[in-house]
Amino acid sequence: MYQYKNLEGISFYEMSQCMNGAFSDYALPIHLDEWDLSDLFSASSIDRHLSFGAFFNGALVGFMFHSCGPYQGHQSVFDVAAGVTPAHRGKQIFTHLFALTEQALKQRQIKRYYLEVLQQNEHAISLYKRHGFSISRNFVVLVGHAQIESKQSQRVQYSTLAVFDFQQTTDLYRNTPSYEHSDHILALHPERYKVAYIKEETLSAWCVFSKLTGQFFSLDGKTCRT
């Protein structure tokens, strides 16, 4: 017998164990300990009251982690992560978790729900489409390492996110960021990020990046341009 409820009071250790099991056969390797997961909850502003789990004999076997906030002018919910451990797939667990989510969204009068899924994960895409989702955007993820020569690096200046004047960026290329790269999420923890920019007579390029990982972000829909 499965039990479904929100994740208030569930330890990060239990959630991390379930998440690692659910992603054990995922296309991208994911393994988070309880501290990593705690940091993800903080960085992504995951709402425990709006996140749900499936329990079998008291053990967490499926989950949906949700963040809630303004996005593209509307109060929205974003599915940060969702999964079911292999032994419990095919039991309609996702359907029940999503039904709880729909009920919670109706109570909060939230009409927008976003998620991201790997394009090669055809099973997940088919599952989401059966629940009424449609593809609105395709993202390209670039992973690499760059070595900056000293002459180039002398052009680059740095600022904290909190004090950088984004009014300077209004004439640069704009691109709507994903929910997790939106100004709402970044502004929750500005100490996590820095701004790198090139400014000679005027600002010519800029980007927001994670101080911890070096991952690139955007703010207010603007991205760096070279």
pLDDT tens-digit series, residues 141-199? 767 666 655 555 678 899 999 999 888 887 777 678 889 988 899 999 999 999 988 88
Summary mean pLDDT of the chain: 88
3-state DSSP call for residue 63? strand
3-state DSSP call for residue 34? helix
Least confident segment among 36-50, 107-121, 201-215: 201-215
Residue 125 has pLDDT above 60, yes or no: yes
- Predicted confidence at residue 147, as pLDDT, reads 62
Q: At 219, phi and psi to the nearest 5?
A: -140, 140
Angstrom distance (rounded) from CA 142 to CA 118: 13
Largest CA distance in the chain: 67
Q: Which two tokens stand for residue 19?
A: 């998440």
3-state DSSP call for residue 207? strand
pLDDT band at 223 (very low <50, low <70, confident <90, very high): very low
Q: How far is CA 51 from CA 41, 81, 105, 120, 140, in A?
A: 11, 10, 11, 26, 27
Angstrom distance (rounded) from CA 194 to CA 196: 7
Angstrom distance (rounded) from CA 137 to CA 56: 36
pTM over the 0.75 mark = yes
The CATH superfamily of 2-130 is: Gcn5-related N-acetyltransferase (GNAT) (3.40.630.30)
Domain boundaries, the chain: 2-130, 150-217
